[in-house]
Amino acid sequence: MRYRTPLVLLLPLLLVLAPIAALPAHAANPIITSVYTADPAPLVVGNTMYIYAGRDEAPAGTQNFVMREWRVLSSTDAANWTDSGPRASIATFGWAGADAWASEVEPRNGRYYWYTSVNGNGAGWMNIGVAVGDSPLGPFTDAKGGPLISDSTANSSGLNIDPTVFVDDDGQAYLYWGGYWSPRMVRLAANMIDTVGAVQTPVGLSNYWEAPFMFKRNGLYYMIYAANDTNGCVTSSSYACQRYATATNPMGPWTHRGVVLGQVSSTTNHAGVAQFNGQWYMVYHNANAPGGGNFRRSVAVDRMTFNADGTIQQVVQTSTGPGPTVTNHALTASRSTSYVSAWESLAAVNDGFTPANSADRSHPVYGNWPEQGTQWVQYDWTTPVTLRQATAYWFDDNQGIDLPASCQVQYWTGSAWANVPGGTACGVAANTANTVTFTPVSTTRLRLSFTSRAGFSTGLLEFGALS
Ligand code: FUB
């Protein structure tokens, strides 16, 4: 995985970065096979995970990187991914000429700062540049007009690549970067485009080679990074694994904790970590796509698991991917109803309780006695959620409340209520979460409408709204 110094500086590409029609979603690993993608860095914004990745354009047989643009991939379930195309390129930086290597996006104050490894036109080789945009998909423009870090930066790395930027809870931002076994760190100013203080050499990142990625969990700082030692990491130092270290201070010192991702099928190993829909994920690249190789890499996603003591289990690399996350958006919805009995509780329907059976009174319940006929329970969200399923666990007190005669799940189109498209039958069975599966909708409101049996009112233990 030794890098060759480029002999020619490529002409800037005049890429059109206006919104591009998203390509069809693709499931399983690698997550995109229409183009080769590498050096993934995840970012979660709202209900979407974005992955910022370079594009490997090396023709088959070429033994060097050919990389000219950075793309954005996105998903709302970590299983089905959309390629939104190139959103920055070498041409974004007027002072750059080649090598769109690893990058990462960090948000701050509603803006998105895209830190990139890129070859400048001037003296030296790789630099860290920074572009900025007002949305995760840009458009992005050069934020600084020159490198943030270059070979002329005092105490810079042996190879100024692979930026990872982390903004702590107190607002202080940190930049880590570096290849060729020489990690570096520096504080960033609040404007995110200037450094503050001297560049430092972090302590404790054992066997560091390149590709750092920093995140925080439960007050502990984590750094994952590529290492290429044969002491439990890789079978040959041409390859790399991902080791990780933790620290109680964002500047370190770091304590090495072990290998979190083993050797992959490409020589380089570059990864990032994100928490999304309650799960932790590692995004990384490998050479597993058809026609893939060391310079034709592809991004993959798998689950990552923490132990109770904060250590991380080694990620299992799969070809199937993590499978879709299922989020019960009911838990974050505000609720309303056509009627609730004064002694019952509408809050019962989205408290996340798992009933033992339809007569389970061990928890609050919703009931609308003495109302009969068609009634409803509704969820509202302040921002749209993507829903694919709804569940109804009916309450039956064997007195005035019985299972309903029928039900219907409806969503708000933005101007009217409509039955969920392609929905399966709305079930009225006892002692189960009746599931309605439908064509996904993005909406701010979901309603469960139900009609009582003659002479009875209706009750509900849980109403789920699932992604
Ligand atoms: O993609 C070019 C370089 O390969 C990256 O900057 C490194 O992290 C390695 O993945």
Q: 403-460 pLDDT, tens per residue? A: 999 999 999 999 999 999 999 999 999 999 999 999 999 999 999 999 999 999 999 9
Decide: 161 in ligand 1 pocket, CB within 6 A: yes
Q: What is the CATH number of the domain that holds 456?
A: 2.60.120.260
Confidence grade of residue 19 (pLDDT, cut at 50, 70, 90): very low
Q: Are 342 and 371 in contact (CB under 8 A)?
A: no
Pocket test for ligand 1, best of 36, 68, 210 (most atoms within 8 A of CB): 210
- Which range has the worst mean pLDDT, 29-33, 40-44, 305-309? 305-309
Decide: 117 in ligand 1 pocket, CB within 6 A: yes
Q: Look up tokens 């590409």; give the residue.
A: 13
Q: Could you identify the atom of ligand 1 that is nearest to the CA of residue 285? A: 10
Report the C-alpha gap between 166 and 448 in whole angstroms: 42
Q: Is the pLDDT of residue 315 over 50?
A: yes
Domain co-membership, 218 together with 343: no
Residue nearest to atom 3 of ligand 1 (CA): 101
Average pLDDT in the 1-29 region? 42
Q: Are 193 and 134 in contact (CB under 8 A)?
A: no
Average pLDDT in the 312-327 region? 90
Domain co-membership, 267 together with 343: no
Per-residue model confidence as pLDDT tens digits over 239-284: 999 999 999 999 999 999 999 999 999 999 999 999 998 789 999 9
Average pLDDT in the 173-182 region? 98
Query: In the 8-state DSSP scheme, what is residue 431?
Result: S
Q: Is the pLDDT of residue 17 over 70?
A: no
Report the C-alpha gap between 130 and 148 in whole angstroms: 7
Report the C-alpha gap between 101 and 65 in whole angstroms: 9
The verdict on residue 8 lying in a domain is: no
Quote the pLDDT of residue 34.
96
Decide: 211 in ligand 1 pocket, CB within 6 A: yes
Q: Which residues contact 416 (CB under 8 A, 6 or more apart)?
A: none
Domain co-membership, 433 together with 300: no
The verdict on residue 457 lying in a domain is: yes
Encoded tokens for 457: 């009112």
Q: Which residue, 304, 338, 373, sits at the end of a domain?
A: 304
Look up the domain containing 223 and give its range. 23-304
Give Cα 398 to chain centroid, integer Å. 46
Q: Is the pLDDT of residue 211 over 80?
A: yes
Confidence grade of residue 354 (pLDDT, cut at 50, 70, 90): confident
Quote the pLDDT of residue 280.
94
Average pLDDT in the 94-106 region? 97
Decide: 268 in ligand 1 pocket, CB within 6 A: yes
- Ligand 1: centre distance to CA 349 (Å): 49
Q: Could you identify the atom of ligand 1 that is nearest to the CA of residue 117? A: 6
Decide: 221 in ligand 1 pocket, CB within 6 A: no
Average pLDDT in the 205-222 region? 97
Domain co-membership, 260 together with 367: no
The verdict on residue 314 lying in a domain is: no
Per-residue model confidence as pLDDT tens digits over 286-302: 999 999 999 999 999 99
The verdict on residue 242 lying in a domain is: yes
The verdict on residue 322 lying in a domain is: no
Q: Which residues contact 342 (CB under 8 A, 6 or more apart)?
A: none
Domain co-membership, 90 together with 196: yes
Give Cα 71 to chain centroid, integer Å. 15
Quote the pLDDT of residue 12.
32
Average pLDDT in the 91-96 region? 98
Domain co-membership, 160 together with 286: yes
Q: Which residues face 133 on adjacent strands?
A: 112
Q: Is the pLDDT of residue 84 over 60?
A: yes
- First-last CA distance in the chain: 41
Q: Where do the H-state alpha helices sit in 293-436?
A: none
What is this structure's pTM?
0.73
DSSP E strands: which ranges in 262-405? 271-276, 279-286, 298-304, 334-337, 366-367, 374-395, 401-402
- CA torsion angle 29 34 39 43 (round to 10): -80
Q: Which residue, 304, 337, 367, sits at the end of a domain?
A: 304
Domain co-membership, 342 together with 452: yes
Q: What is the CATH number of the domain that holds 189?
A: 2.115.10.20
The verdict on residue 184 lying in a domain is: yes
Average pLDDT in the 114-140 region? 96
Query: What sign has the CA pseudo-torsion 92, 97, 101, 102?
Result: negative
Would you call 345 exposed, middle or buried from its count of C-beta atoms within 10 A (0-12, 13-18, 19+)?
middle
Domain co-membership, 274 together with 352: no
Report the C-alpha gap between 245 and 254 in whole angstroms: 6
Share of the chain above pLDDT 70, in %: 94
Higher pLDDT, 355 or 240: 240
Domain co-membership, 300 together with 444: no
Confidence grade of residue 210 (pLDDT, cut at 50, 70, 90): very high
The verdict on residue 18 lying in a domain is: no
Quote the pLDDT of residue 323.
81
How many distinct structural domains can be found in the chain? 2
Domain co-membership, 382 together with 437: yes
Q: Is the pLDDT of residue 16 over 60?
A: no
Q: Is the pLDDT of residue 11 over 90?
A: no
Q: How many other CB atoms sit within 10 Å of the CB of residue 15? A: 17
- Ligand 1: centre distance to CA 102 (Å): 5
- Ligand 1: centre distance to CA 238 (Å): 13
Report the C-alpha gap between 102 and 277 in whole angstroms: 26
Task: Residue 105: name the closest of 56, 34, 39 by CA.
Answer: 39
Residue nearest to atom 8 of ligand 1 (CA): 211
Q: Quote the mean pLDDT of the chain.
A: 93
- CA torsion angle 309 312 313 317 (round to 10): 160
Q: How many other CB atoms sit within 10 Å of the CB of residue 382? A: 9
The alpha carbons of the chain give a radius of gyration, in whole angstroms, of 26
Domain co-membership, 363 together with 456: yes
Average pLDDT in the 161-187 region? 98
- CA torsion angle 450 452 453 455 (round to 10): 180
- CA torsion angle 72 73 74 80 (round to 10): 170
Q: Which residue, 304, 337, 355, sits at the end of a domain?
A: 304
Quote the pLDDT of residue 27.
56
- Ligand 1: centre distance to CA 1 (Å): 9
Report the C-alpha gap between 249 and 120 in whole angstroms: 33
Domain co-membership, 153 together with 42: yes
